Amino acid sequence: MTITLKRGKEESLRRFHPWIFSGAIHHIEGQQEEGALARVLSADGDYLATGHWQIGSIAVRVLTFDDEPIDIAFWQRRLAAALEVRKAIGVADNPHNSTYRLVHGEGDHLPGLVIDVYGQTAVVQAHSVGMHCCRQQIAEALQRVMSPTVHHIYYKSETTLPFKADLGQENGFLVGGDADDVAVENGLKFHIDWLRGQKTGFFVDQRDNRSLLEAYSRGRDVLNMFCYTGGFSVYAMRGGARKVHSVDSSAKAVDLVNANIELNFPGDTRHQAFAEDAFRFLQQMDDGAYDLIILDPPAFAKHKDALRNALKGYTRLNLRAFEKIRPGGILFTFSCSQAVNKDQFRMAVFTAAAQSGRRVRILHQLHQPADHPINIYHPEGEYLKGLVLFVE
């Protein structure tokens, strides 16, 4: 299909913004099938871009600004370029690390596609119908680019594709199967549950922040709130924490964190996990029980209209931690809501600090790691932010 834009609406594309909004479109020729490839032209008929057509306010997600075919060679070039960046960062081809994000959507010029690598398994997640339609070609290109490392490709898009598209999609292996579920992050081992786990099975985006936490853990009493697979807990153990308590409302998460601790520190009694609501746990725990607390909750705002409540949620949560943390304690606090920006999050934490009456200093300002790159023309790709605070 071919899309011609209204006059003047090509400006953002000339600046490489990878989305075309439906309001910018003058007219469309050819069959309008969700997920189809669209050639995008200016009002004067000049070629601008090729992308996936979709139904909604974002009408096209751009794959390329060059007039080139979207074929297996295209996918191979894009994936090879993504791998080069991961090698440059030092997360790929590293004997101490086999866990990383290979493709981060717009950040890798592949809007709607996420690929995480866990040892010999790659987990592919489509967020658009266009990427769903291309999954076999992507898997084929991925095999070529990641040979001989990756033997299994698992497709996990049941919950990420637009529900309305009604594709009847199922999760499953596109290549291989029956893979070993242990992957290595910075020398630590983790069971990855790509079949049932959240996202692609693991939160790869906290790798650098976990490393920083490790450096602060020696001799501390650590509380890892919203622990999920226990990433922060395992690093705190290696960092020499005196004790580590992991909390998650999901009993499955508690099983996962216990399994991951056992995998790295068998029989180590410094660790304990609790299946409990975070707010209740914080309310009931003794004052000063911990001097290193991690708050890494799920996204409180999935959309812009949920923003006000989300900010209140961050304030309420952080207030509890400020009220209870031991003097001289350190708080790692995060927000992964894309709708909440850095300044808004900082303001929510500031409000909590002020309400608690504690003296608080910012030691570090944290963000997503380099294998989750942000396309400079697409600032919407920035989502993870965190603060490390010293609480007197």
Query: Of the two residues 79 and 117, which places its CB atom closer to ligand SAH in the complex?
Result: 117
Q: Per-residue contact track with ligand SAH, 12 to 51, x per CB under 6 A?
A: ----------------------------------------
Question: Encoding tokens for residue 304?
Answer: 């812009």
Range in contact with ligand SAH (rule: CB under 6 A) among 29-37, 68-76, 172-180, 249-257: 249-257
* Contacting residues for 33 by C-beta, under 8 A, at least 6 apart: 1, 53
Interactions with ligand SAH, residue window 296-315 (CB under 6 A): 296-298
**How near is the Cβ of 293 to ligand SAH at its closest, in Å?**
12
Query: Of the two residues 121 and 206, which places its CB atom closer to ligand SAH in the complex?
Result: 206
Work out which of 253, 282, 321, 340 binds ligand SAH, going by CB under 6 A.
Answer: 253
Q: Per-residue contact track with ligand SAH, 201 to 240, x per CB under 6 A?
A: --x--x-------------------xxxx-xx--------
What distance, in Å, lies between the first and last C-alpha atoms of the chain? Answer: 62
Catalytic residue among 133, 134, 227, 336: 336
Kindly state whether residue 11 participates in binding ligand SAH, applying the rule CB under 6 A: no
Work out which of 250, 283, 309, 365 binds ligand SAH, going by CB under 6 A.
Answer: 250
Kindly state whether residue 249 participates in binding ligand SAH, applying the rule CB under 6 A: yes
Query: Of the two residues 22 and 250, which places its CB atom closer to ligand SAH in the complex?
Result: 250
Kindly state whether residue 337 participates in binding ligand SAH, applying the rule CB under 6 A: no
Give the total of residues touching ligand SAH (CB under 6 A). 17
Work out which of 108, 185, 214, 248 binds ligand SAH, going by CB under 6 A.
Answer: 248
Work out which of 158, 268, 277, 305 binds ligand SAH, going by CB under 6 A.
Answer: 277
**Is 336 one of the catalytic residues?**
yes
Closest alpha carbon to 331 in 363, 306, 307: 363
Phi, psi of 166 (to 5 degrees): 50, 60
**How near is the Cβ of 299 to ligand SAH at its closest, in Å?**
9
Query: Of the two residues 190 and 322, which places its CB atom closer to ligand SAH in the complex?
Result: 190
Chain residues binding ligand SAH by CB under 6 A are 203, 206, 226-229, 231-232, 248-250, 253, 277-278, 296-298
Point out the residues that are catalytic: 336
